[in-house]
């Protein structure tokens, strides 16, 4: 296997690492402020940064249709984020995260298999292990897996969130085939428009305390980097490979919480991290 054939895997892992670290930074910022304010401000900070870089590097402009598709992707992605936070705020974090991530990865797998054909047996097995790994890594604070009967009543929001993220993956794959930076700007502008509409309707506070701004800046930088890696993975490889590898981001979030915040990692989560590593190896074959 040559380096070129490994590029989709490397870019997909880059997206997972950046998303995982970005979520960790976003979680720290949300503890000192509120989640919507963190996401909103990270959105516009990232947008400004991407536009400056794109103009400086002189990247050619996208077509109008690609710009609109990327904006729609950003709207779906931000919708998924808002719904996910709402679900977590309702006290179903241990259910919301894995359900959302599983559906977000499964939709592109279905679309990729239909449009690009089924991948090889090793890759399919890697996809399966990756999906199981996401579920295990997202085990609740008590290290427990599975759903109780009453939990099925609260799956609506996690499902909606996962659909939003899955549509983001699919649409960004389409919008980012001929350009890298401008699709990121377009998607963030679409997400920002949705956030502003939501803020005008709900009237939440979007202000951040001064000590929180450096963390938000790190979150914005990592999130933009993750989206950039995902677009690159989509350009050089299959939609399903980029999406499944990108969806492994909870693993790094958990590891960073263990290393920095000294949070406990449960047995199921260690097993999930091990399965994620095995999945990466199979997908890279």
pLDDT at residue 155 tops 80: no
Model confidence over 188-244: pLDDT tens digits?
A: 999 999 888 888 887 877 888 888 899 999 999 999 999 999 999 989 888 888 888
pLDDT at residue 79 tops 60: yes
- Look at residue 149 in the predicted model and tell me its pLDDT: 45
> What is the separation of C-alpha 118 from the centre of its chain, rounded to a whole number of angstroms?
24
- Look at residue 285 in the predicted model and tell me its pLDDT: 66
Work out the percent of the chain whose per-residue pLDDT is above 90. Answer: 30
Q: Give how many domains the chain has, as a whole number.
A: 1
Cα distances (Å, whole numbers) of residue 185 to 43, 208, 227, 228: 10, 23, 10, 10
- Look at residue 230 in the predicted model and tell me its pLDDT: 93
Task: Return the higher-pLDDT residue of 213 and 84.
Answer: 213
Classify the C-alpha dihedral 50-185-251-3 as positive or negative. Answer: negative
48-61 burial: b if 16+ Cβ within 10 Å, else e? ebbbeebeeeeeee
Which token pair is 98? 């894995």
- Look at residue 121 in the predicted model and tell me its pLDDT: 87
C-beta separation of 143 from 268 below 8 A: yes
Range scoring the smallest mean pLDDT among 67-71, 150-154, 156-160, 190-194: 150-154
C-beta separation of 155 from 90 below 8 A: no
- Look at residue 14 in the predicted model and tell me its pLDDT: 94
Give me the helices (H) in the chain, please.
3-32, 35-57, 64-89, 93-116, 121-137, 156-175, 181-202, 213-236, 239-246, 250-260, 267-283
- Look at residue 74 in the predicted model and tell me its pLDDT: 94
Q: CA 161 to CA 158: how far, in whole Å? A: 5
- Look at residue 192 in the predicted model and tell me its pLDDT: 92
pLDDT at residue 3 tops 60: no
Model confidence over 6-32: pLDDT tens digits?
A: 888 899 999 999 988 888 888 788 778
Q: What is the pTM of this model?
A: 0.87
- Structural domain of residue 247, as residue ranges? 3-283
Mean residue pLDDT of the chain comes to: 83
Model confidence over 89-138: pLDDT tens digits?
A: 565 555 666 677 778 888 888 888 888 888 888 888 988 888 888 878 76
Q: CA 250 to CA 230: how far, in whole Å? A: 16
């Amino acid at each position: 296997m040559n380096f070129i054939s490994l590029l989709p895997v490397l870019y997909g892992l880059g997206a997972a690492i950046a998303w995982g670290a970005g979520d960790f930074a976003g979680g720290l910022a949300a503890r000192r402020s509120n989640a919507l304010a963190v996401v909103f401000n990270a959105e516009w900070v990232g947008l400004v940064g991407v536009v400056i870089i794109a103009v400086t590097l002189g990247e050619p402009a996208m077509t109008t249709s690609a710009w609109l598709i990327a904006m729609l992707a950003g709207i779906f992605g931000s919708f998924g984020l808002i719904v996910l936070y709402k679900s977590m705020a309702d006290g179903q974090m241990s259910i919301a995260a894995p359900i959302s991530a599983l559906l977000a990865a499964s939709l592109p797998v279905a679309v990729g298999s239909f449009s690009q054909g089924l991948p090889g047996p090793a890759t399919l097995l890697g996809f399966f292990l990756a999906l199981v790994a996401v579920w295990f890594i997202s085990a609740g604070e008590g290290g427990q897996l599975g759903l109780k009967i009453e939990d099925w009543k609260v799956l609506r929001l996690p499902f909606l969130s996962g659909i939003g993220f899955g549509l983001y993956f699919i649409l960004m794959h389409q919008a980012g085939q001929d350009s890298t930076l401008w699709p990121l700007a377009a998607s963030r502008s679409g997400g920002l428009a949705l956030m502003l509409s939501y803020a005008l309707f709900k009237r939440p506070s979007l202000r951040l305390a001064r000590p929180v701004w450096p963390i938000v800046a790190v979150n914005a930088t990592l999130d933009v980097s993750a989206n950039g890696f995902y677009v690159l993975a989509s350009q050089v490889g299959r939609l399903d490979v980029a999406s499944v590898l990108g969806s492994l981001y909870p693993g790094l979030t958990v590891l960073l919480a263990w290393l920095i915040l000294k949070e406990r990692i449960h047995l199921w989560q260690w097993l999930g991290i091990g399965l994620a590593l095995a999945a990466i190896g199979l997908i890279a074959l």
